Amino acid sequence: MGSLVQSRRGSFGAAISAAALFVFIFLVAFMTEDKSITGFAVDGQNSGSVITQHLMEFDDVSSLGSLNPGNYFITGDGVVYWTDNGPVPAARVKSLHESQKNRKIYIDVHGNVGYLTE
């Protein structure tokens, strides 16, 4: 009888520990949901070059229609930033005309690319 009571106490303690671990993991996930924690860290000095190294590349601006609809900005070196939720690097354009550099563009739901006036 004593061993039965002892084994129940051990399994109850394990169940409480498992429940506490689950609650801890749930709380950490809930608190960091809006923080966009991805586990990817970069050196602050070269963070721009690291982010833009792994972007989709397009031959020209007219090819950008495959991106999600929204507002974008094309820098002078061809990096395309999505600007609807802050500047987020989205793509890189290989060939730019001078008139396309440092321009705001809009991509609609049909993939049409249009230039925005300031």
- Average pLDDT over every residue of 7-23: 75
Residue 15 — very low, low, confident or very high, per pLDDT cuts 50/70/90? confident
60-99 exposure pattern, b = at least 16 Cβ within 10 A, e = fewer:
ebebbeebeeeebbbbeebbbbbeeeeeebbbbbeebeee
Helix (H) or strand (E) run with residue 50 in it: helix 47-52
| pLDDT tens digits for range 22-75 | 787 777 666 665 555 444 444 444 444 445 567 889 988 888 988 889 999 999
Contact 103, 73 (CB under 8 A): yes
The larger pLDDT score, comparing residue 45 to residue 96, is at: 96
Mean pLDDT of the residues in the chain: 76
Contact 55, 66 (CB under 8 A): no
